[in-house]
Amino acid sequence: MHGKNPMLTGQKIVLSLLARAGRALSPTVFVKLMFLLRQETALRDDPAFYDFVPYQFGPFSFTLYRELGGLRQAGWVAADDSQIALAAGGWAGVRAQIESLPEHVQAAVGQILSRYGRMEPEALIRDVYARYPWYATRSGRSDLLPNPLPGPNQAPPAVYTAGYEGKSVDAFLNDLLKNGIQVVIDVRANPVSRKYGFSGVRLGEICKKLGLEYRHEPSLGIPSAERVGLGGFASYQRLLERYERVTLPARSADVHRVGQLMRQKASVLLCVERDVRCCHRSRLANAVAKATGMEVIHL
């Protein structure tokens, strides 16, 4: 039985792709076609569409697979390790969902299927790897890799910071990988998030799959109780000044430990805010830089 929750636009696009393909797709082909929708159609400019990271079989989206799971649970899609297809029956409901998509999105799906939908799987994979080699850098299909393949990015020693506000977990981690980051140091006091992929446990799981080390340093965060009532820029600055003046000196051993790690491996201080001026990671980064002599780089 179909769920009652409103369907996300990305999920409707999944249904459109499967319906217009007219057959079950292997997971590898399915993901490649969704990736090409992102890269080669008007959906490249849609911030709500799926982002991708280099993974075991090339480009992959953890967010896409989560939403595919929602479609399967609601009875729209039948999916397993070997194939993904529309569930039997319910075509009228699928058609209604597809028809609610804007015309340019429906055209984009048709464009990708017309160009790539009948390619043999290995030919499709080889083509994607050749034209988007970054996304092939972690693939296990060595027989299909382009030559030369880009080497891993190397980040020079520095105190890196990043905020994930406004980004999917796939886009955020893809940026870190591109910058040569090896360790994610989560400096939120309480690593919870309503946004998929950014709770501490789930973020640690995804990082591990991508070969990134995840560490949580709650002592270097700011407790939620101290954030109550924050409004404009000035209130954030007062909070951060207190953090710099009171909290960091009391956590000097933790600052030193993080600094030692950042000397050894390319590491990033992770928190939420897009604007680093309103995030405690800016003050923490300055303290680590002072302890290590490294420069601060906000990604």
Q: Are residues 212 and 133 in the same domain?
A: no
pLDDT at residue 28 in the model: 95
Residue 253 sits in a domain of what CATH number? Answer: 3.90.190
Q: Which of 121, 144, 167 lies at the terminal end of a domain, its last residue?
A: 144
Q: What's the average pLDDT block by block, 10 residues per block, for the chain (299 residues)?
A: 74 97 96 98 94 96 97 94 90 91 96 97 97 96 90 91 97 97 97 96 98 97 79 84 93 96 97 94 97 96
pLDDT at residue 2 in the model: 63
Q: Are residues 176 and 272 in the same domain?
A: yes
What is the domain extent for residue 60?
9-144
Q: What is d(CA 76, CA 262) in angstroms, rounded to the nearest whole number?
A: 46
Q: Are residues 163 and 111 in the same domain?
A: no
pLDDT at residue 4 in the model: 57
pTM for the full predicted model:
0.93
pLDDT at residue 153 in the model: 86
Closest among 115, 127, 162, 136 to 298, alpha carbons compared: 162
| Cβ atoms 268, 185 nearer than 8 A | yes
Q: Are residues 131 and 186 in the same domain?
A: no
Structural domains counted in the chain: 2
Q: Which of 144, 173, 196 lies at the terminal end of a domain, its last residue?
A: 144
Q: Which of 94, 116, 144 lies at the terminal end of a domain, its last residue?
A: 144
In a domain, 34, yes or no: yes
Give a three-class secondary structure readout of 177-224: HHCCCCEEEECCCCCCCCCCCCCHHHHHHHHHHCCCEEEECHHHCCCH
Q: What is the CA radius of gyration of the chain?
A: 22
In a domain, 1, yes or no: no
Q: Are residues 118 and 180 in the same domain?
A: no
Q: Are residues 97 and 214 in the same domain?
A: no
